[in-house]
Every structure is written in C-alpha cells, then in structure tokens.
Amino acid sequence: MSAAGRLDGIARHKVSRGPMETLERALVTPDLGLEGDCRGPVPEGKKGNRQITVIEAESWAAAMQELGGADGLVWSDRRANLLVSGVRLPREAGKVIAIGTGLRIEVRYECDPCSRMDALRPGLREALMPDWRGGICGRVISEGEIALGDEVRIEE
C-alpha cells in the first residue's frame, strides 16, 4: 500500500444500534465528531477515544474472503464511520490520520469487533480480529469537511 490512500466511504448512525446512513460528504469536528453520528459528541469528562472509527477496505475484503464471500454484507455493516483504501492505517495509539485538507484523527486504539458482527454473519467477528482488521477508534483533533475520493495520509 502507498503512503497516500483514498476515502471510499462515509457512514453514520444517528442513534446507538440504529441503521447506518452512507454519505458523500460530511463535516467532522472535535466537538461533534462526524456530524450527526451518535458517537461523535464527547460527553463531559470523557476523552473521546471512540469518537470516530476508520476501517481499511483491504481489511474488510480480507475478512470477506476468509468467510468465502460477502453474501450481501457491505463495509458499513461493520458500523465504522470511514472506509479508506490504498493506505495502511497505523497499528499504534498516538499516530495521526489526515483526510482531505483539514481533518486530522488521532488513533486511540484498535476497534475490536463485537458480538453484533456474528449476528450479521457467523464467524465475522473472528475474521475481523487479526491485524486490526476491525479498524481503529480515534479522536478528532482538527476539523475538516470531507468527501468521497479525498486523499488519506498517515502523518509522520
């Protein structure tokens, strides 16, 4: 994978456990996270470690291949906010992902897949476990308007 990738998907859910809505563009801020997503606003006294989630298209594809095909599942079924391709996400806390011209996300930790994944497809949770395939949980550190096709970079 290259040093720069591409933003291939944006999704949000307005309420916990609610349906995912895919978008072509969105505003992401330190106060609200992905605008309109229920996990975005940081509650008082919290750090916002899971304010936004990002998954690699290649990791999703590897999990689907391991399961023998997608069978109607799409990346947003993972319930991640952003789908990126062509760039390897950092596998350590503190690294920064830059998207478009302004958005910067600090990696806080691995986004461990939950039991809800097996409700979608038996074995999906386990297929998302190796090598951070479930993506990253992050905190928004600078605001940006993002759109599908935006460049994704890992800052050094």
Q: Domains of the chain by range and CATH?
A: 4-155 (2.40.33.20)
pLDDT digits (tens, 9 = 90+) for 66-95: 998 878 899 998 999 999 999 999 999 999
pLDDT digits (tens, 9 = 90+) for 37-46: 998 888 888 8
pTM score, whole prediction: 0.94
pLDDT at 138 over 70: yes
* Rounded (5°) CA angle 54-60-66: 150
Residue with tokens 């691995």: 110
